[in-house]
Amino acid sequence: MSTSTDRVLDIRGLHVRFDTRDGEVHAVRGVDCHVERGECLGVVGESGSGKSQTFLAAMGLLAGNARTEGVVEHDGQNLLALSSAALDRVRGDRVAMIFQNPLTALTPHLTIGAQMRETLAAHRGSGGRKAIRARCIDWLERVALPEPERRLAQYPHELSGGMRQRVMIAQAMLCEPDLLIADEPTTALDVTIQAEILDLMDSLRRDTGTAIVLVTHDMGVVARLCDRVQVMRAGAYVEAGAVDAVFHAPAHAYTRALLDAVPRIDGPTAAAPVARADAAAVLVADEVDVRFHLPGALFRPGLELRAVDGISFSLAPGETLGVVGESGSGKSTLARAVLELVPRHAGQVAWMGRSIEGLAPTELRRARRDLSIVFQDPLASLDPSMTIGDSIAEPLRIAEPGLGRAARRTRVRETLERVGLEAGFVNRYPHELSGGQNQRVGIARAVITRPQVLICDEAVSALDVSVQAQVLVLLAELQKELGLAMLFISHDLSVVRQVSHRVLVMYLGSVVELAPCVALFDDPRHPYTRALLSAVPLPDPRIERGRERIRLQGSAARPTEAAARLRFRPSALVGVADGEHVPAATLDEVAPGHFVAAHDALERLLVE
Amino acid sequence: MSGVSKGSESLQAAALESAPVRGRSLMDDARARFLANRAASGSVVVLVLLVLAAVVGPAFLPWDHETPDWSAFRSPPSSENGHYFGTDQNGRDLLARTLHGTRVSLAVAFVATLVSVVIGVLFGAIAGYVGGRLDGAMMRFVDILYALPYILFVILLMVVFGRNVYLLFAAIGLLEWLTMARIVRGQTLSIRNREYIEAARAAGLGRMQIILRHVVPNLIGPVVIYAALTVPEIVATESFLSYLGFGVQEPLTSLGTLIAEGTDVIEVLPWLLWFPGATLVLLLLSLLFIGDGLRDAFDPKEIS
């Protein structure tokens, strides 16, 4: 056991209580925890477990209605007992914090340089303009931000999400703190960016000896980065120990259940589709093309963004087609285009073997009963002023207008019970329900018309792991019962692997790879697919430590530029002017049903 | 570690999903915050008393608003002759006239507000939801009406159609809806991009159905607030127009007319100004406090 002098933070018997109108909420219930110099401690738990509140309490950043009790010791001082002026001297200097959303955590009207100087001025006084500037540039270099000198004069909105998180880290590290508290630092980022940020945090910890507390819900992230882990549930730690021990021999049932619920990229795949291969496709997209016009300014012409650039696929009854891609790849736009919710620029869509081209608006609305969609945000996708029952009944009113009031009510109750909610929920409002319950309501609304196609747009992404597992089970059951064909859109490759029969990988509006699920995950051909797969963290510390990542040059940050569009074919970039349209790469069938977009050799695309 | 000994629990039980969430609607929250606001809830009491007095009060008075008391011309406020607010030059009881004037002013305010809410909400919601060229055309129309001098517009109507209380109601309401339409359009623009609107489109609802079922009900917060702030504005406008001589006609009266008459004789019969003036101030203050209270109660930033 270490002596207490090695500890940069020592939390003993911490309680956090909130006074709310519904009475007292006991968010953290007597937590003991310590962080040693230079180590990385992972704190995992589901939402509402109190994992963030523990460390917000330590930093004195709790909301006004909170009361704390216990000791948080740093450098011989009890942080909970300090005056706010004394706490200000510790915060940002000895203990720093980075947050989940790098856009809202940076002040929009201040340049990067001004924000970094502010931190230094608060803790190091005036050290001369030149010295301060040099220190800022030095740290921006250390977090591997390209062109650091130019960045100092830029505003947060000019940087991409990953770059902003690098700036946050540089700012937090400016005073070389003893402890860096990272609250879900990569949750809002794409998987490849997440991998880069995690690598960066790991190397900074090795170089500077700054200890890191990583608060996260993602077991894979913990396995990649942490030495020790604490599993938190309902305000208390249920298990603590070295990562290897906790991951490979979990002592507590909750930890075991949590680990079992995490979908793994090396886990099992969906069973073979129940569908007859000869059955006619229920949904066909042919060269679908969606463009958005980005308005220009007085002397700057507008731009045209090809959100979906000629995508074709077909969906057989009972089949699940997974669609993966990073943010901005156009996967949600594709879903809305095949549902005729955004206008198509070109291309054809057929529902149930019938082209929707030239259908009268009323006919089109009637045809919608065969297709439904489940959205990402369970609360935002339900009308807050309507009861659950009314929301679920709505598609039925359109699809079967002849149905009487009583018959409709019966159907709503049946459907509610089918998705695992009590029939008594009909009179409740969405905000009275939890996220998982609301998502079940969203699913009930989608299946009440007994559709043949269900489009899930990030349907489980906003849910906790355990709830996510239950919702996936429900979707699989419904698919079997109703013979649903599903278009399953997600940024989470592990989930897609678990549910899909075929997978389509998208990059900036076009297909880079389309293959049967097993082939795609076991034998990825396209460099982008391989880079994505290698970036997904596995909830297994032994495998995770030895894994090599594939890092590709370039980024998708400026989707209208030719360099981004031709990221995997730099050889074709010669002679292409900026803004000029580049046709999507052709697809080659490398194996039966396995299509890969044309690309240059992987070696040419790697980061040196 | 406190929880380690709990033994094996299934993850299903562990999921917080099964925890019942106690229902508390947005309305409940808003009501609680409104009642906690003393100025606002006190104003509701004052307003209710004023409305009650204006509606049923005259029935308990021995005088009405138009019949002179031949024994008491120009009587100062007195409890001996029963004219608690005094009488005017024609011997009419000022208390009866003030109550009557309050009734007329409130009626103008509520009718005009209702007209402005109905037109403004529908106009704004359609413009905001449909968008594009229709939105542009509808909002330019609003801009043009905005650009016309308001008072001039009312005066022109009065000149053309003569002095008429009902016309006054309509004229004020027809002008007040402009701001409401703008506010509603702005709110609609943010609502129309919400996922539940997309869900409704995916379910096959038509435009008008979506506007009436999903857009308008979710506008209630801002509309209630703005309507509550419109009422005092209209009371003040009506008083102003009546003061100018364009309002209600004798022997009918309104608070504005009473104040205008009182102003002429402020040196000899000051009570003719003080009582109606104080009533108007009380009415406007309580309406403004209620509007402010509603705005705070419905403000999402206040919801913790």
Q: What is the pLDDT of residues B62-110, one digit of tens each?
A: 777 777 776 767 767 777 776 777 777 777 777 888 888 888 888 888 8
- End-to-end Cα spacing for chain A: 42
Q: Which residue has the tokens 């507000």?
A: B113
Q: What is the pLDDT of residues A396-431, one digit of tens each?
A: 988 888 888 889 999 999 999 999 898 888 888 887
Predicted local distance difference test score (pLDDT) of residue A471? 92
% of chain A with per-residue pLDDT over 70: 97
For residue A324, which of A221, A194, A192, A211 has the smallest C-alpha distance? A192
Task: Compute the mean pLDDT over every residue in chain B, rounded to the nearest whole number.
Answer: 78
Residue A577's CB: how many other CB atoms inside 10 A? Answer: 6
**Residue closest to B102 by CA, chosen among B248, B265, B225:** B248
Tally C-beta pairs within 8 A across A and B. 145
ipTM of the shown complex:
0.81
Cβ distance B25 to A239 less than 8 Å, yes or no, reads: no
Of B26, B201, B204, the CB nearest to A366: B204
Chain A neighbors of B25, CB-CB under 8 A: 429, 431-432
The answer to whether A433 contacts B21, with C-beta atoms less than 8 Å apart, is yes
Q: How close is the nearest chain A Cα to the Cα of B169, in Å? A: 32
3-state helix, strand, coil in chain A (%, to 5): 40, 25, 35
Shortest Cα distance, chain A CAs vs residue B48, angstroms: 29
Nearest to A526 by CA among A471, A598, A421, A461: A598
**Which residues of chain A make contact with B24, given a CB cutoff of 8 A?**
21-22, 432
- For A494: left if phi > 0, alpha if psi spans -120 to 50, otherwise beta; the answer is alpha
Range ranked top by mean pLDDT from A432-446, B260-274, B284-298: A432-446
Contact between A438 and A380 under an 8 Å Cβ cutoff? The reply is no
Most confident of A18-32, B61-75, B163-177: A18-32
The A228-233 sheet, strands edge to edge: A95-98, A179-183, A211-216, A40-44, A228-233, A236-242
- Best of A217, A254, A338, A445 to substitute, by most chain B Cβ atoms within 10 angstroms, is A254
Q: Calculate the CA A164 to chain-centre distance.
A: 16
pTM, full prediction: 0.81
Cβ–Cβ < 8 Å for B199, B140: no
Domains, chain A, with CATH or none: 4-261 (3.40.50.300), 525-608 (no CATH)
Of the candidates A376, A383, A466, the beta carbon closest to that of B214 is on A383
Q: Which residues in chain A touch residue B213, judged by CB atoms under 8 angstroms apart?
A: 383, 386, 394
pLDDT: which is higher, A315 or A580: A315
Contacts of B14 in chain A (CB under 8 A): 233, 254, 257, 466
Q: Chain B interface residues facing chain A, Cβ-Cβ under 8 Å?
A: 1-4, 6-12, 14-17, 19, 21-26, 32, 194-196, 198-206, 213-214, 217-218, 220, 304
Q: B217, A381: Cβ pair inside 8 Å? A: no
Spatial distance between the Cα atoms of A332 and B190, rounded to a whole number of angstroms: 20
The C-alpha of B141 sits at a distance from chain A's nearest C-alpha, in angstroms, of 25
Residue B64 lies in a domain: no
| Cβ distance of A381 and B218 shorter than 8 Å | no
User: CA nearest A340 in B: which residue?
Assistant: B202
- A73-A77-A4 Cα angle (round to 5): 50
Q: What is the pLDDT of residues A205-243, one digit of tens each?
A: 999 989 999 999 888 899 989 999 999 998 899 999 999
**Residue B14 is nearest to which of A32, A63, A233, comparing CB atoms?**
A233
What is the Rg, in whole angstroms, of the alpha carbon atoms belonging to chain A? 26
Q: What is the mean pLDDT of residues A98-116?
A: 85
The total number of structural domains in chain B stands at 1
Give domain status of residue B9, yes or no: no
B205 falls within a domain: yes
In a domain, B22, yes or no: no
Facing B204 at nearest CB: one of A260, A385, A395: A395
Does B8 have pLDDT greater than 50?
no
Element containing residue A421 per DSSP (H, E): none
Q: Which residues of B touch A252 (CB under 8 A)?
A: 3-4
CATH code for position B135: 1.10.3720.10
Q: Is A593 left (phi over 0), alpha (psi -120 to 50) or beta?
A: left
Average pLDDT over residues B276-289: 86
Q: What is the pLDDT of residue A579?
A: 64
In a domain, B146, yes or no: yes
Average pLDDT, chain A: 87
- Sort out which chain A residues have CB atoms less than 8 A from B196's CB and list them: 380-384, 391
- Percent of chain B predicted with pLDDT > 70: 84
- pLDDT band, residue B19 (cuts 50/70/90): very low
> Tens digits of per-residue pLDDT, B192-220?
888 899 999 998 888 888 998 888 888 87
Which domain, by its residues, includes B266?
31-54+92-302
Lowest mean pLDDT among A118-127, A494-503, B10-19, B43-52: B10-19
Distance from CA of B192 to the nearest CA of A (A): 11
Average pLDDT over residues A281-289: 92
How far apart (Å, rounded) are the C-alpha atoms in residues B105 and B95?
A: 15
Cα separations (Å) of A284 from A315, A347, A487, B32, B66?
Answer: 6, 11, 12, 53, 80
Q: Name the minimum distance, in Å, from the CA of A299 to any CA of chain B.
A: 23
Q: Which of A21, A365, A466 sits opposite B14 (nearest CB)?
A: A466
Within a domain: residue B24?
A: no
Quick one: closest CA in B to A342, which residue?
B198
Tokens 């994992």, located at residue: A51
Mutate to test the interface with B, among A385, A390, A468 (most CBs of B within 10 A): A385
B298 in a structural domain:
yes
How far apart CA A101 and CA A410 sit, in angstroms, is 44
B290 inside domain: yes
More confident residue, A548 or A40: A40
